Amino acid sequence: PAIGVAELMRVLSDENGMAWDAAWDICTRTFSYTNHTLMPEALETWSVALMQHVLPRHLEIIFHINKDFLEEAARHRPGDDG
């Protein structure tokens, strides 16, 4: 389910020409994901190398989302790099 955010962003922006902010607004109103387990065997993980090979555009989108979150966090807590 977690890749769904990147996929919807890809469809909205790449296939439908929607601006990033408009697509992100739709995503944030569409998805709500809570993981209810902390057991490592229940958490699927992919390496960056695997993502780059299999879903390179999704990885770009994930990096963009991460950058946006880091910038928002920096605005809320300037100077807190922890």
Q: How many residues does the chain have?
A: 82
pLDDT in tens, 69-79: 999 999 999 88
So what's the pLDDT on residue 5? 96
**What contacts 14, CB < 8 A, 6 or more positions away?**
57
Q: Rounded to two decimals, what is the model's pTM?
A: 0.86
pLDDT in tens, the chain (82 residues): 789 999 999 999 999 999 999 999 999 999 988 878 778 877 888 999 999 999 999 999 999 999 999 999 999 998 887 7
Rg (CA), the chain: 15
- Per the listing, tokens 């929607």 go with 18
Q: Where are the alpha helices (DSSP H) in 17-55?
A: 20-30, 48-54
| 23 neighbors 4 (Cβ within 8 angstroms) | no
So what's the pLDDT on residue 59? 98
